[in-house]
C-alpha cells in the first residue's frame, strides 16, 4: 500500500510526534509498504531532512514556543505551516491511507481529520468529532460523568484560591484544557502558587482546568478496535508522570500487565471502554487512570493519537497482548480502511 505518515506539526508535542512517526514509518516500511513522511509544518520530507530530524532525537523538555513559531512560519503561512494545502500534496492525495502520527494541536483536535474527511482520504484514529471532544478536557470529563465514568472534580479558570480550596481542596492539578504530554501542567500544593500555574497553562491554551489531585497508582488502558488491551502501571521517578518521565529512558518503569485483583482489572477495562464510547472514539486510543488505595479508579483523560515511541504505553499494552509493533501499526491501518468509504466502494 501507499501510506502517508503525518508527523511533526507545530504543537508543543512536535518532538514526540517525530519520534512516534519515524517508528511508525520504519514498521510500515519493514512490512513492505511504500511510505511517504509528511510534516504538516513544512510538507513532504526529503530524505536528507528526514535523516536530520531522526538524528536530532528526543529532548528532555518540549520545544519552546519561540521554536514552534519559527517552524510554523517556515512556509510563510503565519502559523499553520501548510495545513490548508495538505491534502493537495501528491504524497497525501495519492495515498491509500493516511497514518496520523501527530500529537496535540491541529493533529489531534479534529482539524486535520476534517480536512481528510473533505478530501475523502482514509485516515487512522478517531474522527473529527471524537478527536475534538477528547482534546477538550472540560467537555470530555462532562461526557465521562454522563456515561458513568468516574473522574475527579474540576473547575475552569478564572477561579480564586478560596473557591478552589472550598470545592476541590489542595493539592490540585492545573493544566491547559486542550494539550497533552503534561505540557503546561503544574501540581499546585498551596493557594499562593495557583495564579502562577494558571498563567503557565495559559501559554499553551486559552482555557485552563483546575482539577482535584487524586493520589494513587498511575494506570493506563489501551483500546484497539473495540477491545481493551492489558492494563499497564507506570512508576515514574517524579511525583507526576511528566514530559521528562514519559520520553526519557530510565525516568519511568512500566509494568504490563499491571498487578491488580481480577475484579479491579475488569472494572478498569470496562471504564476505559465506556470512556472510549462516550467520546465517540474509533480505531485506537489510550485511556489514563488513577487508582486510589481504596481501589477506586478515576479517569484522567483519553488520548486519541497516543504516543508510539519506544517508551510509549499503547505499544507496550499491545505487546502484552501478543501484538508486536509492526502488527499493531498494520492493524491500525486495517481499522482505518474498514470504515473508509473507499473500502466500502470496493466490496
pLDDT of residue 96: 97
181 is catalytic: yes
Q: Which of 211, 131, 116, 230 is nearest to 171 (CA)?
A: 211
303 is catalytic: yes
pLDDT of residue 316: 96
79 is catalytic: no
Question: Cα-flanking dihedrals φ and ψ of residue 83, to 5°?
Answer: -55, -35
pLDDT of residue 88: 84
Residue 256: partners with Cβ closer than 8 Å, 6 or more residues away? 230, 231, 232, 233, 316, 317, 319, 320
| Candidates 105, 184, 307, 317; catalytic one | 307
286 is catalytic: yes
In this structure, CATH architecture of domain 2-126+329-345:
3-Layer(aba) Sandwich (3.40)
298 is catalytic: no
Residue ranges per structural domain of the chain: 2-126+329-345, 134-151+215-322, 154-212
Residue 79 CA to residue 206 CA, distance in Å, equals: 16
| Candidates 20, 140, 181, 312; catalytic one | 181
pTM of the model: 0.89
Sequential DSSP letters for 172-237: EEEEESS--TTTT-EEE-SGGGHHHHHHHHHTT-S-EEEEE---SEEEEEEEETTEEPPPEEEEES
Answer for the pair 123, 131: CB distance below 8 angstroms, yes or no: no
| Candidates 136, 242, 244, 301; catalytic one | 301
301 is catalytic: yes
pLDDT of residue 76: 40
pLDDT of residue 63: 66
pLDDT of residue 78: 36
Only one residue has cell 491534502, namely 87
| Candidates 205, 241, 288, 298; catalytic one | 288
| Candidates 17, 303, 312, 317; catalytic one | 303
145 is catalytic: no
CATH T-level fold of 134-151+215-322: D-amino Acid Aminotransferase; Chain A, domain 1 (3.30.470)
Q: Give CATH superfamily name and number for 154-212.
A: ATP-grasp fold, A domain (3.30.1490.20)
Tell me the mean pLDDT per 10 residues along the chain, length 347. 94 89 97 96 91 82 71 52 72 95 89 93 97 96 98 97 97 90 86 96 94 96 96 87 77 94 97 98 97 97 94 95 98 91 44
11 is catalytic: no
| Candidates 13, 205, 233, 242; catalytic one | 13
Amino acid at each position: 500500500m501507499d501510506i502517508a505518515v503525518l508527523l511533526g506539526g507545530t504543537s508543543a508535542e512536535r518532538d514526540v510526534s517525530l519520534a512516534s512517526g519515524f517508528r511508525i514509518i520504519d514498521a510500515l516500511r519493514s512490512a513492505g509498504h511504500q511510505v511517504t513522511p509528511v510534516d504538516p509544518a513544512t510538507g513532504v520530507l526529503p530524505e536528507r531532512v528526514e535523516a536530520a530530524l531522526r538524528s536530532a532525537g528526543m529532548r528532555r523538555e518540549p520545544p519552546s514556543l519561540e521554536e514552534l513559531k519559527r517552524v510554523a512560519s517556515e512556509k510563510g503561512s503565519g502559523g499553520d505551516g501548510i495545513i490548508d494545502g495538505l491534502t493537495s500534496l501528491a504524497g497525501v492525495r495519492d495515498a491509500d491511507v493516511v497514518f496520523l502520527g501527530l500529537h496535540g494541536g491541529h493533529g489531534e483536535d479534529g482539524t486535520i481529520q476534517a480536512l481528510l474527511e473533505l478530501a475523502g482520504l482514509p485516515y487512522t484514529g478517531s474522527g473529527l468529532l471524537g478527536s475534538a471532544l477528547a482534546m477538550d478536557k472540560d467537555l470530555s470529563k462532562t461526557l465521562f460523568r454522563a456515561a458513568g465514568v468516574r473522574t475527579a472534580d474540576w473547575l475552569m479558570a478564572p477561579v480564586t484560591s478560596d473557591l478552589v480550596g472550598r470545592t476541590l481542596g489542595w493539592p490540585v492539578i492545573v493544566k491547559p484544557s486542550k494539550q497533552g504530554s503534561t505540557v503546561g501542567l503544574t501540581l499546585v500544593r498551596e493557594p499562593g502558587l495557583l495564579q502562577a500555574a494558571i498563567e503557565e497553562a495559559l501559554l499553551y491554551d486559552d482555557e485552563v482546568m483546575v482539577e482535584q489531585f487524586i493520589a494513587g497508582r498511575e494506570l493506563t488502558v489501551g483500546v484497539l478496535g473495540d477491545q481493551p488491551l492489558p492494563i499497564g502501571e507506570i512508576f515514574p521517578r517524579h511525583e507526576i508522570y511528566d514530559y521528562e518521565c514519559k520520553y526519557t529512558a530510565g525516568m519511568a518503569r512500566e509494568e504490563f500487565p499491571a498487578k491488580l485483583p481480577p475484579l479491579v482489572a475488569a472494572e478498569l477495562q470496562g471504564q476505559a471502554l465506556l470512556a472510549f464510547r462516550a467520546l465517540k472514539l474509533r480505531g485506537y486510543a489510550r485511556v489514563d487512570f488513577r487508582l486510589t488505595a481504596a481501589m477506586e479508579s478515576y479517569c484522567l483523560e483519553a488520548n486519541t493519537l497516543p504516543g508510539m515511541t519506544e517508551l510509549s504505553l499503547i505499544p507496550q499494552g499491545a505487546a502484552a497482548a501478543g501484538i508486536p509493533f509492526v502488527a499493531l501499526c498494520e492493524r491500525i491501518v486495517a481499522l482505518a480502511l474498514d470504515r473508509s468509504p473507499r473500502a466500502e466502494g470496493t466490496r
